[in-house]
Amino acid sequence: MSYIAAVARTERGFSSSTLASPGGSNPLLVALISGGAALAAGYLLFSPSSQPKHSASAAEPTSSATNDDGGPVTASHPAYNFDAAIKELQSFLPEDRLSFEESERETHGHSSWSYHPSHPHAAVVYPIDVSEVVRIVKIAGKHKVPLVPYAGGTSLEAHYSAPDPHSDRRKSISVDFNLMDKILRYSEEDGDITVQPGVRWEGLNEELKNRGSKYFFPIDPGPSAAIGGMVASGCSGTNAVRYGTMKGDYILNLTVVLPSGEVITTRSRARKSSAGPDLTKLFLGSEGTLGLVVAATLRLAPIPPCTSVGVSAFPSASDACSAARDLLAHGIGVQCVELLDDVMLAAVNKANAADTRAIKHVEQPSLFIRFAASSDAAMRADSQLAARILEKHGGSKMQFAMDKDEIERLWHARKVALWSALDYPERKEGEKWRAWTTDVCVPVGQLSELIRRVKDDITQENILSPIVGHIGDGNFHGIILFRDGDQEMFERVERLVHRMVHHAQDLDGTCTGEHGVGIGKKQFLERELGKGTLDLLRMLKRTLDPDSIMNPGKLIDVY
């Protein structure tokens, strides 16, 4: 099927009867908005009705009924009927789009990038349009079967795995959006585009380039991430220092299938709107717990006419942090400013040892900077000013590239950082090493203190952990390496991560700048947000999804 035909087919499936208009009345949203007003009056947080629905402990029987596996009905295992749901799904989904294959169930409940154990689903469905998603959601709602959305499968905190059996023992269905991967509309004039959730950000930019567009979509998380997952994880990437994050202004509206099966579009395509609160934001970072995103209108950014790359090494990470702050304060056109620490550069040098073309980097904390400007002349002026600023903070003479090949060569270290880190540990025959990849974020002025504390902890725990940071945003990633199967080492890594999060929170930062919460960071949310804020989130979840069918046990526990 041609690309155009595929779009046309999808657009037919995307009829006005399935897409409610932004102003359409929605009882749940009315409840939410009036709930917000009551909250302002200081009522709801303390109202008995806002207390967790399940007051019994998760494993305590809530009635004498038994479940479909013969066990008692409990908060973590409410009455539900998986088999009845599957029977109804089989009535309209062809066999190749409703899978019980072990390998597929496993892939949708596991990530080789993540330290989390695998939690396979009981089935995987592949919808092709909005009307199918609505039917799937209504059936799941009727039988109280958990649905867990899946887009690119690159999230790192067990976001898309089956519910953790310790908190929810129901069998779940993974909803894979990879067949909903079409561009629905595009306007060069408006600089925006509406896409389905399975569209991958790299493919989208490739397609825009092929169409000769002067725009691109600037949010750049992990390779292969797709819009549905990017929206739901509230991600960002190296470009955030210039363009912001998914939670910024790059999502104009979302079309969402709510847990009730109702379809809403959060707002119009206008660049700005003060017509009430922006409910788009409700779904950004909601990790599939409030509804399934079936379309997103994205604002695009103009492709900068000129880009270049500069690299400079510093005596300490603290000097590199000060230099980055100063650079940004001068209003220089910086698109990315990344920190690779001494350990990371040692890993990169080791990985590139056999490559004669590769640059051998000084093994000191270094800034990798991508500049963007409207002309070569502006670029040169910016880079000269940047070089002076970097040297003022103890940086080495900036290596600089404007030519496409040279840019790639200089940026290569940043590109291969993660893979190089994974290969870095010396290993004995047959030994396997894995990484616990985690991120935290603090106000930019606190970053050097955070890195100092984390480096001390790394030394104290005697762990190998290269650091790479989106330093311009105060965000960094620890790629913390451990020997597979070495429980004692794993516990040291776990301690290190916990302390890293606490340091970030103590510095008025966050347990995650861009990777999200999933299962892994849930335990840190109350310390960061406070009980009142989490209670509000629980109230929203229970209002929209009273039977907790949408990705239960991720982001927050509702009981």
Positions in the binding site for ligand FAD (CB under 6 A) = 113, 148-156, 159-160, 177, 197, 221-222, 225-226, 228-230, 232-233, 235-237, 287-288, 292-293, 418, 514-516, 551, 554
What HEC string does 174-226 produce?
EEECCCCCCEEEEECCCCEEEECCCCEHHHHHHHHHHCCCCEECCCCCCCCCE
Q: Least separation, in Å, of the C-beta of 392 and ligand FAD?
A: 29
CA of 531: how far to CAs of 57, 436, 527, 548, in Å? Answer: 18, 28, 8, 20
Q: Minimal distance in Å, beta carbon 515 to ligand FAD?
A: 5
Residue 447 Cβ, how far from ligand FAD at the closest point, in Å? 16
Select from 173, 177, 160 the least CA-distant residue to 295: 177
For strands 263-265 and 301-302, give the pairing: unpaired
Closer Cβ to ligand FAD, 514 or 535, answer by number: 514
- In this complex, which beta carbon is closest to ligand FAD, that of residue 163 or of residue 222? 222
Residue 288 or 395: the one with the smaller Cβ distance to ligand FAD is 288
Give least dist CB 5 to ligand FAD, A.
23
Q: How far is the CB of 156 from ligand FAD (least distance, A)?
A: 5
Q: Which of 480, 475, 477, 557 is nearest to 522 (CA)?
A: 557
- Asked if 59 and 76 touch (Cβ cutoff 8 Å), the reply is yes
User: Which lies closer to ligand FAD via its Cβ, residue 398 or residue 550?
Assistant: 550
Smaller CB separation from ligand FAD, 199 or 317: 199
Measuring CA to CA, which residue among 35, 57, 62 is closest to residue 47?
35
- Whether 525 contacts 512, CB under 8 Å: no
Give the HSE-up count for residue 136: Cα atoms under 13 Å, Cβ half-sphere. 29
**CA-to-CA distance for 394 and 396, rounded, in angstroms?**
7
CB of 277 to ligand FAD, least distance (A): 20
How many helices (H) and strands (E) would you count in the chain? 18, 20
Report the DSSP beta bridge partners of residue 61.
Answer: 74
122/389 with CB nearer ligand FAD = 122
Q: How far is the CB of 197 from ligand FAD (least distance, A)?
A: 4
Closest CB to ligand FAD among residues 159, 538:
159
**Closest CB to ligand FAD: residue number:** 229
The C-alpha atoms of residue 418 and residue 34 are separated, in whole angstroms, by 47
Whichever of 76 and 233 has its CB closer to ligand FAD, that residue is 233
- From the CB of 396, what's the least distance to ligand FAD, in Å? 26
